[in-house]
Structure 1
Amino acid sequence: MATNLDKALETIISTFHGYSRLQDGRRIISPEDLEDLLHSHLPTLSLLRDREKMNQLLQRLQKDGETGLDFQAFYTLIVGLIFACNECYEDHVNKQNGGITASKDQTS
C-alpha cells in the first residue's frame, strides 16, 4: 500500500510530466506552464502574487540559455518551497505552544 510520502513523490513527478514538454530530448516546463502549474496546484502561495520575486527565482533556477525548468530545477523549486512552508509551520506551532516546537520525541 502506498504511503502518503509515496503519493507525494508520485504527485510531484506526474505533475511535472503533465506540464512539461519535450524540448531537445529533455522535458522542460515553460515559464508560462510553470505559472499555470503553481496557480493551479499551490493557489495559496503568496510568492505567486509577487511577479518580480517569482521572475528572480526562475532566473536563479534556469540553466544558461534555457527559458524553462528541467526536472532537476523544478524539484529544486519544490524543495525550496517545502523549506519555506516548514519554517512557517514551525513558527505557527511555536506560537501555539508558547515558543516551544513539539517534536515526536517530546510528545511521546
Structure 2
Amino acid sequence: MSSDLETAMETLINVFHTHSGKEGDKYKLSKKELKELLQVEFSGFLECQKDAEAVDKLMKELDENGDGEVDFQEYVVMVAALTVACNNFFWENS
C-alpha cells in the first residue's frame, strides 16, 4: 500500500506523461501541451488570468534550457512553486 506522498508523486508523474508527447518529444511538454495541462489540471489558473499571454510567460520562465519545451524537471519546479504559494495562502488564511 502506497503512502499519501508516494501516491502524490505517482500522480505528478502520470499527469505530466498524460499531457506530454502528443507532439514532439514524448518526454517534454510543448507550449500547446502545457496550456492543455493547465486547462485540465489548474482550470482556475487560466480563467483568473487577465493576461492573454500568461501561458507564454509561464513557458518562458519554466524553460530554463531554452529549448521551447518544458521537461519533467521544469514541470516539477512549476508544481513545487504552486504548492509553496498554496501552502502560504492556506496557512496564512486559516
User: TM-score of the superposition, structure 1-length normalised?
Assistant: 0.71
1:29 corresponding residue in structure 2 = 29
Residue correspondences, number = 90
2:59 corresponding residue in structure 1 = 58
Query: Is residue 42 of structure 1 aligned with residue 42 of structure 2?
Result: yes
Q: Which runs of 5+ in 2 are unaligned?
A: none
Amino-acid identity (%): 27
1:6 corresponding residue in structure 2 = 6
- C-alpha change, 1:86 and 1:47, in structure 2 (3 Å) is farther
For residues 18 and 33 of structure 2, the distance between their equivalents in structure 1, rounded to whole angstroms, comes to: 10
The secondary structure found in structure 1 opposite 2:27 is: strand
CA deviations over 1:26-80 (Å, ceiling 9, x no partner) = 611011111111111122336862443442232121122x121000101111101
* Contact 1:20–1:30 (CA under 8 A) maintained in structure 2: yes
2:92 corresponding residue in structure 1 = 91
- C-alpha change, 1:48 and 1:27, in structure 2 (3 Å) is farther
Bigger CA radius of gyration: 1
Q: Which runs of 5+ in 1 are unaligned?
A: 94-108
